[in-house]
């Protein structure tokens, strides 16, 4: 508007000058002068318009042309407008970059869908969960890429009430929880979460409840049956008592061991039970475990001991005795008569290793990863015959974890097994001087 007003003022000035010139120089000269002035003015306007058109082909704030007169104001206004737009665009770009960084940092998968359920953006976790690629799949309908009947049905029916569980997703053991969230005008968020570990824990919890109920029910059924028999027979004959009382005692002891192991596990898992730090004479402990193994074997096995280190450990002697004792008793119980059990204590790469090797029945490799689960048994009937509770290796795992150690299992069906408890260097302690001197003497 300012430029237009300036042009009108210039034209009015030229017209006034010609009117003044008319009486002096005549109409022809006045008209020629006015026409020439208009031509010059038009040429200036065309030049500035040409500069403007050339600049509009590649507009940049630093390339705004220089003008004269009112055009200088026009170009200055364009420069301010374009600079403001560039600043707004920079802020939007920075905001978008921050959003993408935040989306990439989210531990859950996130997919933004436009109308028609087309992919607008997804974060790296969503790419991993669904096998997507953000650039390649932009604009694609998600139902064409995430092929799952229930997911497609929920998308079609706009079922936003509950998350969808996708098990064994994409041919793996992955378990995904997928939630659809509507927002805006026909837009949706697809939020995915990897709940594989949570699902595994929930499965273990269900199995634990079922198994502990079953394990307690069996001895209780035996006790109840014999007690009812004694009551029904009145005073109870000597023959019935001689037959029933040992069985009731055996089942009672079995139930007692089960309860004690459950209490041990509960104590180990309790956050209010800090580890007792004390020097543990492991060589003496290994000798004691060797004597226990001989007693449990009853001369049915060859039980060897290999003490290749005099190192001690820092930790709880009671917990270590329980854990290492479980490994030893398992080896004796699952090794047939005439087999061999070797108990060893040695140093290895600054670590300390307690191992129990046997020539027993061995374990199929597919069972090995689950051996430390509560009540998981390779052969349930054989476990009952040997008197195991199904909690021994779970206790071993927890004790070693509290001592920053780990359990390694190597086994081959028909050839035996080797269970190794490996303790890190920070747990290993040198034997006291008095103990080392007594050993050398």
How confident is the model over 377-395, as pLDDT tens digits? 776 555 555 556 678 898 8
CA dihedral 119, 121, 127, 132 (to 10 degrees): 30
pLDDT tens, residue by residue, 296-342: 999 999 999 999 999 999 999 999 999 999 999 999 988 999 999 99
On the question of pLDDT at 371 being above 80, the answer is yes
CA distance 402 to 413: 31
Among 18-32, 99-113, 319-333, name the most confident range.
Answer: 319-333
- Which residues make Cβ contacts (< 8 Å) with residue 335, sequence separation at least 6? 301, 341, 358, 359, 360, 361, 416
pLDDT score, position 438:
52
Write the pLDDT tens digit of every residue in 191-220. Answer: 999 998 888 887 777 777 667 767 777 777
**Residue 418, helix vs strand vs coil:** strand
* pLDDT at residue 1 in the model: 46
**Which pLDDT band, with edges at 50, 70 and 90, does 3 fall under?**
very low
CA 210 – CA 135 distance, rounded (Å)? 49
What CA–CA distance (Å, rounded) separates 32 from 60?
41
For the domain spanning 106-194, the CATH number is 3.30.450.20
Domain with residues 201-269, CATH architecture: Orthogonal Bundle (1.10)
CA atoms of 380 and 377, how far apart (whole Å): 5
Spell out a b/e string for 73-109, using b for 16 or more CB atoms within 10 Å of the CB, else e.
Answer: ebbeebbeebeeeeeeeeeeeeeeeeeeeebeeeeeb
Residue found under tokens 């198994």: 211
**pTM greater than 0.75:** no
Residue range 366-386: average pLDDT?
Answer: 70
Q: What is the mean pLDDT of the chain?
A: 80
Do the domains 201-269 and 106-194 match in fold? no
Most confident region among 133-137, 219-223, 224-228 by mean pLDDT: 133-137
d(CA 65, CA 72): 9
- pLDDT (0 to 100) of residue 24: 56
Average pLDDT of 358-369?
A: 87
Q: Which fold has domain 278-440?
A: Heat Shock Protein 90 (3.30.565)
Quote the pLDDT of residue 30. 55
pLDDT mean over 63-76: 73
User: Does residue 180 come out as left (phi exceeding 0), alpha (psi in the -120 to 50 range) or beta?
Assistant: beta
**What is the reported pLDDT for 369?**
84
Query: The tokens of 260 are what?
Result: 């004690």
For the chain, domain boundaries: 2-99, 106-194, 201-269, 278-440
């Amino acid at each position: 508007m300012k430029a237009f007003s300036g042009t009108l003022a210039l034209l009015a000035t030229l017209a006034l000058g010609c009117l003044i010139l008319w009486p002096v120089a005549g109409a022809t000269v006045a008209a020629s002068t006015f026409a020439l002035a208009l031509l010059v003015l038009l040429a200036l306007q065309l030049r500035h318009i040409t500069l403007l058109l050339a600049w509009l082909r590649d507009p940049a704030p630093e390339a705004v042309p220089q003008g004269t007169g009112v055009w200088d104001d026009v170009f200055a206004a364009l420069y301010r407008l374009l600079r403001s737009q560039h600043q707004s665009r920079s802020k939007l770009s920075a905001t978008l970059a921050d959003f993408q960084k935040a989306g990439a940092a989210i531990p859950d998968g996130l997919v933004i869908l436009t109308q028609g359920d087309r992919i607008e953006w997804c974060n790296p976790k969503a790419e991993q969960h669904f096998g997507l690629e953000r650039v390649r799949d932009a604009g694609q309908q998600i139902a064409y890429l995430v092929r799952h009947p229930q997911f497609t049905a929920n998308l079609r029916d706009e079922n936003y009430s509950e998350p969808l569980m996708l098990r064994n997703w994409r041919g793996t053991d992955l378990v995904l929880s997928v939630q659809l969230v509507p927002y805006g005008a026909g837009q949706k968020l697809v939020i995915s979460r990897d709940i594989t570990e949570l699902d595994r824990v929930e499965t273990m919890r269900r199995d634990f409840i079922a198994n502990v109920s079953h394990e307690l029910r069996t001895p209780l059924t035996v006790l109840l049956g014999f007690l009812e028999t004694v009551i029904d027979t009145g005073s109870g004959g000597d023959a019935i008592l001689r037959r029933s009382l040992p069985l009731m005692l055996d089942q009672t002891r079995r139930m007692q061991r089960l309860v004690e192991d459950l209490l041990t596990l509960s104590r180990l898992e309790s956050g209010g039970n800090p580890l007792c730090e004390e020097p543990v004479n492991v060589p003496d402990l290994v000798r004691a475990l060797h004597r226990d193994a001989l007693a449990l074997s009853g001369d049915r096995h060859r039980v060897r001991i290999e003490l290749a280190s005099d190192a001690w450990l820092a930790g709880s002697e009671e917990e270590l005795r329980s854990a290492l004792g479980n490994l030893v008793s398992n080896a004796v119980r699952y090794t047939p008569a005439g087999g061999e059990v070797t108990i060893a204590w040695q140093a290895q790469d600054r670590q300390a290793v307690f191992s129990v090797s046997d020539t027993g029945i061995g374990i199929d490799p597919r069972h090995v990863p689950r051996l430390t689960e509560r009540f998981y048994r390779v052969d349930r009937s054989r476990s009952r015959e040997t008197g195991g509770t199904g909690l021994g290796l779970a206790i071993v795992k927890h004790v070693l974890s509290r001592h920053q150690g780990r359990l390694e299992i190597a086994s081959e069906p028909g050839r035996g097994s080797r269970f190794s408890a490996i303790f890190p260097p920070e747990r290993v302690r040198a034997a006291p001087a008095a103990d080392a001197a007594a050993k050398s003497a």
